[in-house]
């Protein structure tokens, strides 16, 4: 089996970018260890702090954020970083070529129940001149690399450098990531959906109709029965979509009119959208491709509908958009 280093070489990824990816991969191995020690290391539970988004930070949110920051500071080629757990963007190295956005521990509410969590990251090109929040506000198609590491029964990494999506599995004996799927291919059709159904009454009308018709199964207009899954960690739900297809949604809702969306664009939706598109799937807000959004703020949130191409199209058709005649992207 090929190692991560061998695959990046085969893909002719430039050395500086390869080194950064390998640095992130190494850091994720350390995070995997920290996560695995759980209660034994006293890392479970919450801190008394809140992040900029008003969410209570878990101890492991803070620990993993510091681990990634330290790793990126040690890497000479990072111009700046932005994290879910940092209020402002952080300057790293004036000579750096890359910007890194990350969610250090996605799904961290799963930590205390020993369930799936992961790290999501996105690498963008750095711009000349002073580093400000605006330097990061590039659309998702500018991403040079996107990936996540899932800390599950095995530690796995999904990665794209724009040449398809690959899956790697961490060999616990050698502590090396090995290529276990060289070209992820999300099935076009699916009979599995993922959405937090408790928000149903808060969704917009098109989503209400789409889900209610889907729930009617083989006696409804879709003439097909669906199964439902919800891991409550985007990284886990997207991983399932990459492995066996499906549609994952966190749509617009009016539960809190000041916060109509939940997931963050720069370090959740954009990297996942690129991984999904590179694997032959689709990623939309309901009204346009996630990767085409012109970002306005580093912590901005968006609606997310992603996964199996034909099912995303089916959902979009309820929103008045019919993309089914577009050519396949991957």
Interface positions with Mn ion (CB under 5 A): 103, 106
Tell me the CB-side half-sphere exposure of residue 1, using CA atoms within 13 A.
15
- Residue of 27, 234, 269, 298 interacting with ligand F6P (CB under 6 A): 234
- Residue 107 as a binder of ligand F6P (CB under 6 A): the answer is yes
The two counts, helices (H) then strands (E), for the chain are 8, 17
From the list Mn ion, ligand F6P, none, pick the one residue 31 interacts with, judged by a Cβ distance below 5 to 8 Å according to partner type.
none
- Given a contact cutoff of 8 angstroms between Cβ atoms, the answer to whether 276 and 290 are in contact is no
- Residue closer to ligand F6P, measured from CB, 85 or 237: 237
**DSSP per residue over 151-219, as a string?**
ESSSEEEEEESSS--EEEEEETTTTEEEEEESS----S--SEEE--GGGGGGB-HHHHHHHHHHHTGGG
* 162 annotated ligand binder: no
- For residue 250, give Cα distances in angstroms to 172, 253, 304, 306: 34, 9, 5, 9
Q: What share of the chain is helix, strand, coil (3-state, %, to 5)?
A: 35, 25, 40
- Residue 43 as a binder of ligand F6P (CB under 6 A): the answer is no
- Given a contact cutoff of 8 angstroms between Cβ atoms, the answer to whether 249 and 309 are in contact is no
- Residue closer to Mn ion, measured from CB, 179 or 290: 290
From the list Mn ion, ligand F6P, none, pick the one residue 314 interacts with, judged by a Cβ distance below 5 to 8 Å according to partner type.
none
**By Cβ distance, which residue is nearest to ligand F6P?**
234
How close are the terminal C-alpha atoms of the chain, in Å? 24
- Residue of 233, 279, 309, 315 interacting with ligand F6P (CB under 6 A): 233
From the list Mn ion, ligand F6P, none, pick the one residue 289 interacts with, judged by a Cβ distance below 5 to 8 Å according to partner type.
none
| Interactions with ligand F6P, residue window 191-230 (CB under 6 A) | 196
* 107 annotated ligand binder: yes
- Residue of 58, 69, 262, 299 interacting with ligand F6P (CB under 6 A): 262
From the list ligand F6P, Mn ion, none, pick the one residue 121 interacts with, judged by a Cβ distance below 5 to 8 Å according to partner type.
none
Between CA 20 and CA 26 the distance in angstroms is 10
DSSP reduced 3-state for 319: coil
Q: What are phi and psi of 300, to 5 degrees?
A: -65, 150
From the list Mn ion, ligand F6P, none, pick the one residue 131 interacts with, judged by a Cβ distance below 5 to 8 Å according to partner type.
none
- Residue closer to ligand F6P, measured from CB, 164 or 307: 307
β-pair type (98-106, 282-284): unpaired
DSSP state of 289: B
- Residue closer to Mn ion, measured from CB, 103 or 192: 103
Task: Report angle CA 116, 122, 125 to the nearest 5 degrees.
Answer: 170
- Residue 106 as a binder of ligand F6P (CB under 6 A): the answer is yes
- Residue closer to ligand F6P, measured from CB, 106 or 289: 106
* Binding-site size, ligand F6P (CB under 6 A): 10
From the list ligand F6P, Mn ion, none, pick the one residue 156 interacts with, judged by a Cβ distance below 5 to 8 Å according to partner type.
none
- Residue 249 as a binder of ligand F6P (CB under 6 A): the answer is no
- Residue 307 as a binder of ligand F6P (CB under 6 A): the answer is no
Bridge partner residues of 227 (DSSP)? 192
* 227 annotated ligand binder: no
Residue 8: enclosing H or E segment and its boundaries?
Answer: helix 4-10
- Residue closer to ligand F6P, measured from CB, 80 or 236: 236
From the list ligand F6P, Mn ion, none, pick the one residue 233 interacts with, judged by a Cβ distance below 5 to 8 Å according to partner type.
ligand F6P
DSSP state of 58: E
Task: Give the residues lining the site for ligand F6P (CB under 6 A).
Answer: 106-107, 196, 232-234, 237, 250, 262-263
Annotated binding site: 84, 103, 105-109, 196, 262, 268
């Amino acid at each position: 089996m090929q190692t991560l280093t061998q695959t990046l070489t085969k893909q002719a990824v430039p050395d500086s970018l390869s080194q950064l990816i390998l640095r992130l991969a190494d850091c994720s191995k350390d995070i995997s260890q920290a996560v695995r020690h759980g209660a034994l290391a006293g890392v479970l539970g919450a801190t008394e702090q809140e992040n900029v988004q008003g969410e209570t930070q878990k101890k492991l949110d803070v620990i993993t954020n510091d681990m990634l920051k330290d790793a990126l500071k040690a890497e000479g080629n990072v111009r700046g970083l932005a994290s879910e757990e940092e209020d402002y963007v952080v300057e790293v190295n004036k000579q750096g070529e890359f910007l890194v956005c990350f969610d250090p521990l996605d799904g961290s509410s799963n930590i205390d129940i020993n369930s799936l969590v992961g790290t999501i990251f996105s690498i963008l090109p750095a711009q000349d001149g002073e580093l400000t929040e605006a330097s990061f506000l590039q659309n998702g198609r500018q991403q040079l690399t996107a990936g996540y590491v899932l800390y599950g029964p095995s530690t796995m990494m999904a990665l794209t450098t724009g040449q398809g999506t690959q899956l790697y599995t961490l060999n616990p004996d050698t502590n090396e990531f090995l290529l276990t799927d060289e070209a992820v291919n999300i099935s076009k059709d699916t009979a599995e959906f993922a959405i937090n159904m408790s928000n149903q009454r808060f969704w917009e009308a098109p989503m209400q109709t789409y889900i209610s018709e889907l729930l009617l199964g083989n006696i409804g207009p879709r003439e097909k029965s669906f199964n439902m899954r919800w891991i409550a960690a985007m990284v886990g739900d997207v991983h399932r979509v990459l492995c066996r297809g499906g549609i994952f949604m966190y749509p617009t809702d009016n539960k809190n009119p000041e916060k109509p969306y939940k997931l963050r664009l720069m370090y959740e939706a954009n990297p996942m959208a690129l991984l999904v598109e590179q694997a032959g799937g689709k990623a939309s807000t309901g009204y346009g491709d996630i990767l085409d959004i012109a970002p306005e703020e580093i912590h901005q949130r968006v609606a997310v509908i992603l996964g199996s191409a034909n099912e995303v199209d089916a959902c979009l058709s309820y929103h008045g958009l019919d993309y089914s005649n577009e050519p396949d992207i991957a």
